[in-house]
Structure 1
């Protein structure tokens, strides 16, 4: 493990750094809240509202599959957004890319609230839904990456796991708001819900956009990027560098996302479709949103806690705990869901999300930025996160809903699916070195460095004389 200090000391005083750290935390958290509010809300609406309003009802089961396909389209767009904005983040800076992505992502989500339905405009309705979802995914493809990179580069080194995890409280807050909003919507009379009620939370997301945009406009650039620019080390071709040296890091992070991202969407979204299929009625369709809400509430504590644990015990050990939890949890969880009991189902979703998923999410916040060198970090994290999201999260919706439709909601097949995802992630944790405390001004990638090199190469690569005196509060 290399020792390092935060480079912020070379740009600002201790008081200024503390203020900017707070701003960065708030700016990142609001962006995460907006992203996951919109995505969780879209996922909840996919199985129970969009399938009815935006698709023909000749075959309701296939309408649900088609609805989940639009959910998956957002994931397909995310790697392209990550590629474009990731390159820009490494070339022009983290801050301005985050300003653009919050506008694009939030604006697209708000637009969904204005869309006409299939009954009004026919096939134009799902087409417009797909376009809005593509734009939403395109912006989201770099939003969460930018937040995690920004916070990792701002955070005190010895507490990077904890501080980098704080914006991910926004993920829990966003998921919590979405599940509560959706549950409240289901209390409305069916006719009003389908006529106009479902539009309210999408339109309300515009308020989060304005607040996040205001804070980000008053945030300074990442200290690490400032160091890169001052040393004339900003990459002109981050994509070329990533393919040259960063591919092992992308592959390893890709594998580690299978259980975290795929398991999250299986529990938060697919479980609802599965439960409706089991009980044979949509009368209690909002019940599992309480499981999602409780899981997010637990995550408000487990995400920063697991991030802090990764500072003490290492990123890999804590991450592996979360993946093994889901590995052991998969078969009992889906069997319990198959019983059709409301209270048991809520507990299953809450435990799986709150502990299994979130114990991976906490250390991931710092670990993924630590895997990549400073010159292509934004792009590396973006590609790792978003390419994996297509397979883990996007495919989970389509393939999972198809399995439910053709297997008469066979719980064993769903359990096998989650077990495979968790096994891939568990094995992937053995592919990476321990990254806790790594100097983020280094230009090399962590995965390709031997243990001997990591132990001996403790000096920062970028202008070491500028960061030789650590900030008192960070050292």
Structure 2
């Protein structure tokens, strides 16, 4: 058994003590290449498909919340209140995400990554399918938004474990020197899900309003069963990660991963929380921006959906390239450049929406989402996972990531509350996004670089605590 697989039950090492062998600076470095027992390509495909389902479901919900849910699931006498309530149901899923991350992360660290990911995949697909069959407010009154919220909570519970589990599984299957590249396919699935959602939703929005409200909005939710079936089949043919198999028999497996990660790596959990808050940029762009463009910018909703799909779709090529760059120069430089650039680009995006010029909107969207935000999306799946030691990796990443995403989930609702009247009413929303980005920048700047650290030396605070206890 490797040293990284031994129990980790201790406090910090004494000041001035020599570094333990498993974190020694002169340890032999692994060279890039395929490691026996690892299947990085298959793991990347499985994660890609799982993320495609997760984000397809989240995007169709966000799109429906912006366009049709206010009229379908809430009283029609006050459209503004209905819109804010619909955005609140979008955000409520993010309340369930930390719970899903803690519960499923616990089992992922104790029982294995693959089996837990099969459960999360099934929950997400079935919840989305169920939303497509819900009765509306006109049919059952207040029961309609209650059922919608329950379906959204189940989506959130599943999603809370999906991205962390997929990142952990792919990272642990990846060869040294290419962890960022392979793990980036977790978020390439995000772009794929957005494109699929838009391909399904654009023709739906072209339907006569009566048909759209009666049955058209349900079709995208029903289509999620196709992605679920494909992704589930791929994951059933994927082996457990070698890293988990090596540590399966350790004493740590019989302890509570949540307690262990909070005892030894609480600072890293907090860093991931603040870095994850940066995702508010994404929800402001895709959900609040869509509502603002159609309601206040006078732009055609089909055109905005198409622009979003194209610019996010193009990021599918950019994210792996940027992640490969992070394997060479480090995760932190990539993340910092992306985050700083996104602050300026967000203001440019809302300014472009205000002009009503679709060419300017496309250019601003391309700069923001395809070029700059891809830097964050390409690097964070590997970086967040690399901050934690193997026995608590799934739990630590899921907990920090999902707590941070609470802000992102309620970003559209907060934006609706902050927006003021007039052509510059979007400025408070952009300032809110910028403040979130600054918090994330500070978290990245205070984190340690992990790109060149061998996988069995990741989670240094945890490993040093173990060595001191022996």
The TM-score normalised by the length of structure 2 is 0.89
Query: Structure 1: how far apart are the matches of 2:31 and 2:160?
Result: 27
* Cα distance, 1:124–1:360 mapped onto 2, change above 3 Å: same
Which residue in the other structure is 1:168 paired with?
187
Structure 2 regions of 5+ residues with no counterpart? Answer: 1-24
Deviation at 1:447, TM superposition (A): 6.5
- Does the residue aligned with 1:441 lie in a helix, a strand or coil? helix
Query: Structure 2: how far apart are the matches of 1:112 and 1:143?
Result: 19
Deviation at 1:236, TM superposition (A): 1.6
Residue in structure 2 matching 1:339, options 331, 349, 355: 355
Which residue in the other structure is 1:58 paired with?
77
Query: Structure 1: how far apart are the matches of 2:158 and 2:322?
Result: 28
Instruction: Note if contact 1:288-1:349 (Cα within 8 Å) is conserved in structure 2.
Output: no
Deviation at 1:350, TM superposition (A): 3.3
Say whether residues 1:426 and 2:441 are aligned partners: yes
Query: Structure 1: how far apart are the matches of 2:251 and 2:31?
Result: 19
Instruction: Note if contact 2:198-2:309 (Cα within 8 Å) is conserved in structure 1.
Output: yes
Decide which moves more: 129-138 or 320-329: 320-329
Deviation at 1:35, TM superposition (A): 0.3
- Does the residue aligned with 1:132 lie in a helix, a strand or coil? helix
- Does the residue aligned with 1:162 lie in a helix, a strand or coil? helix
Query: Structure 2: how far apart are the matches of 1:320 and 1:369?
Result: 18
Q: 1:308-349 deviations in whole A, cap 9, x for unaligned? A: 010111000001111011122232222222223333223323
Q: 1:205-256 deviations in whole A, cap 9, x for unaligned? A: 1111111111111211111100111555535211111110111111111222
* Cα distance, 1:68–1:55 mapped onto 2, change above 3 Å: same
Structure 1 regions of 5+ residues with no counterpart? Answer: 462-475
- Does the residue aligned with 2:178 lie in a helix, a strand or coil? helix
* Cα distance, 1:307–1:11 mapped onto 2, change above 3 Å: closer
* Cα distance, 1:165–1:447 mapped onto 2, change above 3 Å: farther
* CA-atom RMSD in angstroms: 2.4
Deviation at 1:353, TM superposition (A): 1.5
Query: Structure 1: how far apart are the matches of 2:28 and 2:347?
Result: 42
Say whether residues 1:119 and 2:153 are aligned partners: no
Deviation at 1:446, TM superposition (A): 4.2
Q: 1:79-107 deviations in whole A, cap 9, x for unaligned? A: 00001001111110101100110011111
Which residue in the other structure is 2:418 paired with?
403
Query: Structure 2: how far apart are the matches of 1:118 and 1:446?
Result: 53
Residue correspondence of structure 1 range 55-454 to structure 2 within 5 A: 55-231=74-250, 233-259=252-278, 261-279=279-297, 284-391=300-407, 393-404=408-419, 410-442=425-457, 445-446=459-460
Deviation at 1:437, TM superposition (A): 2.5
Query: Structure 2: how far apart are the matches of 1:398 and 1:69?
Result: 6
Query: Structure 2: how far apart are the matches of 1:65 and 1:229?
Result: 47
* Cα distance, 1:446–1:363 mapped onto 2, change above 3 Å: farther
Query: Structure 1: how far apart are the matches of 2:461 and 2:442?
Result: 15
Query: Structure 2: how far apart are the matches of 1:100 and 1:71?
Result: 22
Which residue in the other structure is 1:473 paired with?
none
- Does the residue aligned with 1:434 lie in a helix, a strand or coil? coil
Deviation at 1:428, TM superposition (A): 1.7
Instruction: Note if contact 1:68-1:397 (Cα within 8 Å) is conserved in structure 2.
Output: yes
Instruction: Note if contact 1:6-1:155 (Cα within 8 Å) is conserved in structure 2.
Output: no
Which residue in the other structure is 1:24 paired with?
43
Instruction: Note if contact 2:33-2:175 (Cα within 8 Å) is conserved in structure 1.
Output: no
Instruction: Note if contact 2:297-2:353 (Cα within 8 Å) is conserved in structure 1.
Output: no
